Amino acid sequence: MLSQVEVLVAGLGMRINSSPIGFCTVSLVTTPDGQKVLVDTGAHPTRETLLAALRSKGLRPRDVDTVVLTHLHFDHCENVALFASSRVIVHETEIAEAREHPDRDPYLADFWQPLLDACSPSVMSGRTLSLGEGLDVVHLPGHRHGQLVVRALTADGVVVCSSDAAKNGRELIVGHPVLSDPRMLKQAKESVAWLLATADVIIPGHDRPIHVVDGRPYWDQNQDVMTSWY
Q: What is the CATH number of the domain that holds 96?
A: 3.60.15.10
Separation CA 165–CA 181 (nearest Å): 13
Length of the chain: 230
- What's the total number of domains in the chain? 1
pLDDT band at 221 (very low <50, low <70, confident <90, very high): low
- Tell which residue, 178, 139, 134, has the closest CA to residue 162: 139
Is 104 part of a structural domain of the chain? yes
Residue 39's contacts (CB-CB under 8 Å, 6 or more residues apart) are 25, 26, 27, 28, 29, 68, 70, 150, 161, 163
- Domain annotation covers residue 230: no
- pLDDT at position 179 is 80
pLDDT at 105 exceeding the cut of 50: yes
Candidate from 44-58, 91-105, 128-142 with smallest mean pLDDT: 91-105
Is 60 exceeded by the pLDDT of residue 226? no
Does residue 93 belong to any structural domain of this protein?
yes
How does pLDDT run across 191-209, given as a tens digit for each residue?
A: 999 999 999 999 999 999 9
User: What pTM was estimated for this model as a whole?
Assistant: 0.90
Instruction: Please state the rounded mean pLDDT for residues 156-175.
Output: 95
Can you tell me the distance from the alpha carbon of 86 to that of 205, in angstroms, rounded to the nearest whole number? Answer: 22
- If one compares 74 and 30, the residue with the highest pLDDT of the two is 30
CA–CA separation, 56 and 50 (whole Å) = 10
67, pLDDT greater than 70: yes
For residue 34, being part of any structural domain is answered with: yes
Q: Where do the H-state alpha helices sit in the chain?
A: 47-56, 74-77, 92-100, 112-117, 169-174, 185-198, 223-227
Amino acid, res. 110? D
For residue 55, give the DSSP letter: H
Q: From CA 67, how far away is CA 161, in angstroms rounded?
A: 13
In a domain, 228, yes or no: no
Burial of 107 (C-beta count, 10 Å sphere; 0-12/13-18/19+): middle
- Please give the pLDDT value at position 16: 58
What confidence tier does 15 reach under pLDDT thresholds 50, 70, 90?
low
Q: Tell whether the model's pLDDT for residue 48 goes beyond 50.
A: yes
Here the contacts of 51-56 (C-beta below 8 Å, separation 24 or greater) are 51/82, 53/8, 53/9, 53/26, 53/28, 54/8, 54/28
For 208, phi then psi, to 5°, come to -75, 165
Of residues 53 and 1, more confidently modeled: 53
Higher per-residue pLDDT: 106 or 49: 49
Domain that holds residue 188: 4-223
Percent of the chain with pLDDT over 70: 89
Q: For residue 161, is it within any domain? A: yes
Shortest CA distance to 44 belongs to which of 78, 67, 70?
78
Helix (H, G, I), strand (E, B) or coil at 13: strand
In this predicted structure, what is the pLDDT of residue 14?
A: 64
Give the C-alpha separation, 128 to 131, whole Å. 10
101 inside domain: yes
Q: Answer yes or no: is pLDDT of 227 > 70.
A: no
160: in domain: yes
